Structure 1
Amino acid sequence: MKRTILICTALVSPSWAMAEGTVEVMSWGGAYSQSQIDAYNKPFEAETGIKVNMTDVDNPATPVKAQVQAGNVSTDVASIGYSDATRLCDEGMLQEIDPADLLPAADGTSAEEDFLEGGLSDCFVATDVYATIVAYDESRFPDNPPSSIADFFDVEAYPGKRGVLKEPRFNMEMALMADGVPADEVYEVLSTPEGLDRAFAKLDTIKPHAIFWDAGAQPPQLLADGEVVMTQAYNGRIFNAAVDEGKPFKIIWDGQIYEMEGWVMPIDGPNPENAMEYLKFSTSAESLARASMQISYGPPRKSSAPLVGNYKDTDIPMPPNLPTSPENMGNALAFDNDFWVDNMSQLNERFAAWLAS
């Protein structure tokens, strides 16, 4: 029997006055944009009368910057990553967003208190939480499946090739967590010469067994082709392969590294009032929960969690498949953008030298 969970927005959302006009939204395309269309755009149009026009591009941060620099802004709201939002905000290209203008939770908790840490900044409101994780082919380990980030580095207990991202980000953090560093101490350790040496020493243990990848579509394909038995991957890619394609893939949530994407509003957008109404509507607890039932990214609001039901129209519950579910957050690491802004150049050089050695 399929279980359906209904979200009663009338109890927790304001009465939206019917309006007119449009709001121009820019997003990433594919399943991600479709989840926003179903969770945000269609309900918003029905409740407000405002038409949502969505444009898809490879990375919305690039055209947003170009539009502002050219003084010809055609985008009202854009979906971009936290690091790009911080950079564009610092450059004066985005409108500041007052958290007090966002909708509270059903119990009256303010948005500022309801959003997860990092979900709100001067010009950014998070819409989803995604993660870099380790996944494995369960058919290869029927009797003793791996369950921790340390198992990814244990080629004796779990023999076979490993899919490894071809850059230092995520590798350094996972190496330290596999070596016993608690998630909340990773960046402190990684900020020392000894910590860097320790991370590279741990990476040395799987280097002879590594197949390196640099595009998100590769890890599930490496698993499907039998080229690797475990791989670093993006959680959404593995979920889609397992659920939509029936692949025998499982996620190890221990040691996950999570990040956020969200909305920004370029300065001088064509429909500022409609843009703010759209941003408020789409970042309500109910809207964010609807989005998490369309795609396996967690909602960045605490009050959204109990509202998340099944995946689309199936009997598959989504909460166990989300990075933000409590059972998946036990040893989770929030990606530290500031650390990588300060250290990316030198660590890219060292990682390239490590690859070549």
Structure 2
Amino acid sequence: MTACGAGGDSGDSGTGEQKLTWASTGGQFQEDEKKALQEPFTAQTGTQFTNVTPAEIAQVRTMVKAGKTIWDLANMSWIYAGAYCGELFEKLDDPGLDRSKFPPGTTGDCFVPTYRYANIFSYNADLFPGEKPTKIEDFFDVKRFPGKRIVYDYPKAGLLEAALVADGVPPEKVYPIDLERALKKIDTIKSSMVFAPSYGAIQQQLVDRQASMVLTVTARSIVSAQTGANLVPVWDFNTTDIGALVIPKGTPNKQLAQEMLVFVTEPAQATAYAKLTGTAPARSEVDVTSIGYTEQQKAFNAFLPDRGRLVEQDKQWWIDNTDAVVKRWTAWKVG
């Protein structure tokens, strides 16, 4: 692949140098993006990257409304790209982004996955020296397994689906989500719930042994274990999801940004990124067992064999219902 072109369409700054501005979450996550994704693209094409943080939807709205889009790629939820496709985000039309190469249900007009992860149920083994949790129902059983349950304060973090399955709904019938039934189930442990404002807060509370159980994303599970939390994953039921790089509407460098997306999802880069982060490659043909994960990364990887029941979060359902779910979630928490 060669990223080439002329003028603004190729990210040419006027000096013959191609440039892309990349917005992401900062920290180690963005450093891994630089190493596994950006540096190889620079070596191959000469494209230089400007990295900014954080990648927030409010900033995209402001740029697009003003007609001054300065971000070319943003690592943010595909929900925004799905809900505001063609309005705040560019539709992807590069033929190199062949959607048949990705797992069913993981693509949209304005997004393709750049990696896959899971919302993983784990427990702190230090706090359960006797009987161990073994199924999703145990997350909701504070009598047999006491202690705080910590989750990210956002309803799409896997808790609603987990509550329904724990309440007897077959995984394949979780969608469309029965929100009131899910909240009723979570009500049974609401006094033991901790709603963390950030993934960093989740990690700190786990390391400090302030929570006995957690439902959080792959990478944060791994980092928490690496920094001292004695976490053990429960491979019974977990939801899977995707990370995505999206292209804000109005970038003058759309074609170059799409070429970068093609590059990011190719097996070599996808494998390098997965090896750094412990996440899984997005494209179906990459064998996850060949990645070369560390033992700790393997321990929290939901895409390896024999990892229980997995349900991909329904992209269209979340795109259509997120605003209403967040409103109801907020009211429920304070009610």
TM-score range, shorter chain: 0.7 to 0.9
1:181 paired to 2:166: no
SS of equivalent to 1:250: strand
The structural deviation recorded for 1:255 is 2.6
Please list, as runs of the form range in 1=range in 2, the aligned pairs for 1:212-291 lying within 5 A after superposition.
212-243=195-226, 245-291=227-273
1:27 paired to 2:24: yes
1:68 paired to 2:64: yes
Contact 1:292–1:318 (CA<8 Å) still a contact in 2?
Answer: no
Pair 80,220 (structure 1): closer, same or farther in 2 beyond 3 Å: closer
Contact 1:128–1:300 (CA<8 Å) still a contact in 2?
Answer: yes
User: What TM-score, normalized to structure 2?
Assistant: 0.83
SS of equivalent to 1:294: helix
Contact 1:168–1:348 (CA<8 Å) still a contact in 2?
Answer: yes
Partners of 2:129 and 2:187 in 1: CA distance: 27
Contact 2:94–2:259 (CA<8 Å) still a contact in 1?
Answer: no
Partners of 2:139 and 2:279 in 1: CA distance: 23
The structural deviation recorded for 1:269 is 2.5
Q: After alignment, is 148-157 or 267-276 more displaced? A: 267-276
Partners of 1:137 and 1:150 in 2: CA distance: 16
1:148 paired to 2:135: yes
Note the alpha carbon deviations across 1:245-268, whole angstroms, 9 max, x for none. 243112224332232221223344
The structural deviation recorded for 1:340 is 4.4
Match of 1:125 in 2: 112
SS of equivalent to 2:277: coil
Please list, as runs of the form range in 1=range in 2, the aligned pairs for 1:102-113 lying within 5 A after superposition.
102=97, 111-113=98-100
1:59 paired to 2:55: yes
Please list, as runs of the form range in 1=range in 2, the aligned pairs for 1:42-57 lying within 5 A after superposition.
42-51=39-48, 53-57=49-53
Note the alpha carbon deviations across 1:93-131, whole angstroms, 9 max, x for none. 4332236323xxxxxxxx322212233221212112233
Pair 166,247 (structure 1): closer, same or farther in 2 beyond 3 Å: closer
SS of equivalent to 1:211: strand
Fraction of identical pairs, as percent? 30
Pair 305,175 (structure 1): closer, same or farther in 2 beyond 3 Å: same
Note the alpha carbon deviations across 1:65-103, whole angstroms, 9 max, x for none. 322222222222222211111123142x4332236323x
SS of equivalent to 1:39: helix
The structural deviation recorded for 1:303 is 1.7
Contact 1:100–1:112 (CA<8 Å) still a contact in 2?
Answer: no
Partners of 1:220 and 1:320 in 2: CA distance: 17
Note the alpha carbon deviations across 1:3-27, whole angstroms, 9 max, x for none. xxxxxxxxxxx5x489962231222
User: What TM-score, normalized to structure 1?
Assistant: 0.79
Q: After alignment, is 159-168 or 111-120 more displaced? A: 159-168
Which residue of 83, 89, 92 maps to 1:87?
83
Contact 1:99–1:120 (CA<8 Å) still a contact in 2?
Answer: no
Note the alpha carbon deviations across 1:196-253, whole angstroms, 9 max, x for none. 454334223322333333322222322322322112223321210212x243112224
Pair 347,322 (structure 1): closer, same or farther in 2 beyond 3 Å: same
SS of equivalent to 2:80: helix
The structural deviation recorded for 1:164 is 4.4
How many residue pairs get matched?
323
Match of 1:332 in 2: 310
SS of equivalent to 2:76: strand
SS of equivalent to 1:28: coil
Please list, as runs of the form range in 1=range in 2, the aligned pairs for 1:156-167 lying within 5 A after superposition.
156-166=143-153
SS of equivalent to 2:144: coil
Pair 272,221 (structure 1): closer, same or farther in 2 beyond 3 Å: closer
Contact 2:4–2:256 (CA<8 Å) still a contact in 1?
Answer: no
Which residue of 38, 49, 63 maps to 1:41?
38
Partners of 2:301 and 2:133 in 1: CA distance: 19
The structural deviation recorded for 1:41 is 1.1
Match of 1:115 in 2: 102
Partners of 1:39 and 1:248 in 2: CA distance: 28
